[in-house]
Every structure is written in structure tokens, then in C-alpha cells.
Homo-oligomer: A and B are copies of this chain.
């Protein structure tokens, strides 16, 4: 097993590997507020280490005092910052500047690592910073896909890009779970985020859950049956969203001359019908389930059942709102802003996706997004109650 320095180097290197195929121009743009420029991700993850681990240490000099204003994401308690929607309006710092910033901070981190590792508080913060960077690696992939996939020239990220890591076997059919008192939440010694901490009991009524994700072929049947225009299957807010945004298919799908195409990281391709459906909102996932006469699982159901099926190709929408577990406490200080303040108006996703860094997720991991968002690798797993 790697020591902390090795882990640090592996994770930091991975962010730069992800960006290697980009042109400089690709690092800069922000087509929608949710999507950040790649250079911002590279700078922000570096700022995290500088701010929470290096800043204030003896002899450490900030790389550039103004970078706090540019690379702070949402830590209100760490000072003013560029508003999110303006990140794509900044041509400076340049890409080269950002890489210089990374190198500067990496050298300082590496030379301080033995000291940081020795103190449990800072060691834990380094690990948090690395898990934080892995979250941004997933966002880097999804944001890059959005940037290139919304360019009228549809440039590929890598012509030979292949989904190889996560091909899953299939169990087939639905898995039944008995009613009972179960435990969910993180209970081991390793790293987890504060929002999954606190193993606790939950009562579950009997239910069954699909061993497989909904496929593109299955979702096409929903489209062909008029699912997008049948109000009965939609939340009121989902229906408003569908009508206003004129949604007629998952994100990145295009019907061209009667053929369904979609944008992939390898470029525009014919839709692969066997793949699990991807890039759908919570509203679409929920409407699909209603159309099938089924429902989405809750996050507790998912966590209890997940040992019995393969997961990891799609973040799976649950019908649970993102709320604190019993006994949840925000950390004191700025790190306390990490998760707790987002616990309203978002839905929980469970699992991991094709672009999640290896080893980053786990069965207790709680991801969360607003119901209409689609640019993550989101999918559908169905469940039903057993009366």
C-alpha cells in the first residue's frame, strides 16, 4: 500500500493526465455555470492544499496572494471570490501559470509531507484534499465532455477513447430484500466524507431491486411510447422543466436523419443500445420508473442491496433527498462548509461512474445533485415494493 506521499503524487499526476489531450483553449471556457473551466479545476484543487495545509506554515510564501480570489470555490469563510458564473471570463492566470502553481505547491507539499503525515489532523486533511481532488477529476471529465460536446464542431477528446475499466457482468432479474432493521453509513477506519459518517439503523420494508441498469434500448422505448409528453409520469417541476427546456431525449443525444447518435469522448457516434442510459436528470429517471410502473430505490435500500449487484458505471439516482444522517455534525472551521451546507433541494446519487477515479467511491458514498442536472454520468436502477 502506498504511503501518503505516494498517494499524493499518484492523485496529483492523474489530474494532469486527464488534461493532457486538451488544447489550451479547452482549459478556459465555461459554457454553463455548472461547468467549470479545466484550468480552474487544476488551480482550485491546488488552492485547497495551499490554503488548508501550507498557508500559515513557517517560511511558506503564497504563490500569488490574489489566487485565493480566483480559485476559492465556495468557502465563504476564506474570503471573497470570483462568482461561479464568471470563471469562464478569466483568461488569466494562464494555463502555464496554473501548471507553475501546481508545481510550486507540489514541491512544498512533498518536502513537508513527512511532517504533515506525522500529525493526525494534517494527515487527515491531506487525505481529504486527495479525495477532493478525485472528485474534481470526475468533474474534469464531465466538464471536458460538456465543453467539447457542445462545440458545433464536436471535437473528440481522444479518438481512441474506450470505456474499458468497468464492463460489468450481469446477474439478471430483480433481487429481493426482506423487511428488517439494517445498518447504513460508514463504519470502518479508512477515509470517508462527513456526510456518510455515522453508521445507524434504518427499518426497511421488503422490496426488490434490479440487478441491472436501464439500457439505452429500454429508454428508447420510453421515448417512442411518448414518455416525454405524458404528464402523468412527471413531477410538476419536472414537467415544467421538460416543457421549458424542450427536453426530448437524454443529454448528448441527436436524432439525425432518423438515426440516434450521441456525443462520446471519442466523438459523435451511433447510439450503442446495450449501454446503460446516461446523462439523464432525476426528473427523467423518475418519469421512466413511473412509466414502467416501478420506482427508484431509496438510498438506504440501495446501500443494503448493493452487495448483491455490480455497480460503478453510472451514478444512480435514488428517490432520497440529500439530508444529514442522525448525529451529523459539521466540522468546525472552513472545512465545515464541505458538505453540510448543501443539504437541501438535492437528490442523492449512489454508486460511481465510468469516469470516477479508481478506488474513489464505496458502498456508503453519497453523491448529490439538483434534480434537473444531466451532465454527470447518471443512470437508472429500478426498484419495487413488495406488499
Which residues of chain A have a CB within 8 Å of any CB of chain B?
23-31, 39, 66, 69-70, 74, 76-77, 82, 86, 88-95, 147-148, 150-153, 155, 181, 200-203, 205, 231-232, 234-239, 282-283, 286, 295, 319-321, 323-324, 326-327, 336, 341-345, 347, 371, 385, 387
Query: Chain B nearest CB: distance from A236 CB in Å?
Result: 4
Question: Min CB distance, A291 to chain B, in Å?
Answer: 13
Indicate if the CB atoms of A28 and B231 lie closer than 8 Å. no
In terms of DSSP, what is the predominant structure of the interface of chain A? mixed
Could you pull out 26 A-B pairs where Cβ atoms are within 8 angstroms? A23-B91, A23-B94, A24-B24, A24-B25, A24-B95, A25-B25, A25-B91, A25-B94, A28-B91, A29-B91, A31-B89, A77-B232, A88-B89, A89-B150, A90-B151, A92-B151, A235-B343, A235-B344, A236-B342, A238-B344, A239-B341, A319-B323, A321-B321, A327-B385, A327-B387, A344-B347
Distance in angstroms between the alpha carbons of A347 and B323 in the assembled complex: 11
Q: How far is the CB of A122 from chain B (nearest CB, A)?
A: 23
With A23-B91, A152-B69: A371-B345 Cβ-Cβ less than 8 Å:
yes
- Cα distance A90–B153 in the bound complex, in angstroms: 9
Return the contact of A90 from the options B29, B283, B344 (Cβ within 8 A).
Answer: B29
A327–B89 touching, CB < 8 Å: no
Specify which chain B residues have a CB less than 8 angstroms from the CB of A319 in the assembled complex.
Answer: 323-324
State whether A235 and B341 are in contact (beta carbons under 8 Å apart), knowing that A28-B29, A93-B153 are contacts in the complex: yes
**Alpha-carbon gap, A70 to B153, bound state (A):** 9
Shortest CB-to-CB span from A69 to chain B, Å, is 5
Q: A25 contacts B341, CB within 8 Å?
A: no
A323-B320 contact given A89-B31, A200-B205, A232-B336, CB 8 Å threshold: yes
Chain B residues with CB below 8 A from A74, complex form: 236
Cβ-defined contact, A92 with B28, below 8 A: no
14 extra A-B contacts, CB within 8 A, seeds A25-B92, A29-B91: A25-B94, A28-B29, A66-B153, A77-B231, A82-B152, A88-B89, A92-B153, A92-B155, A202-B203, A203-B203, A235-B343, A237-B344, A282-B344, A327-B385
Q: How long is the Cα–Cα vector from A239 to B86 in the complex, in angstroms?
A: 19
Q: Contact: B90 with A205, CB < 8 Å?
A: no
- Asked if A25 and B23 make an inter-chain contact with CB atoms under 8 angstroms apart, the answer reads no
Q: Are B323 and A95 in contact (CB under 8 A)?
A: no
Measured CA separation A77–B229 after assembly (Å): 12
Tell whether, in the assembled complex, residue B342 and residue A235 are in contact, meaning their CB atoms are under 8 Å apart: yes
Cα separation A321 to B147 with both chains bound (whole Å): 34
A64 vs chain B, min Cβ distance (A): 8
CB pair A327–B205 under 8 Å, yes or no, is: yes
Residue of B nearest to A333 (CB): B232
A320 — which chain B residues lie within 8 A by C-beta? 323
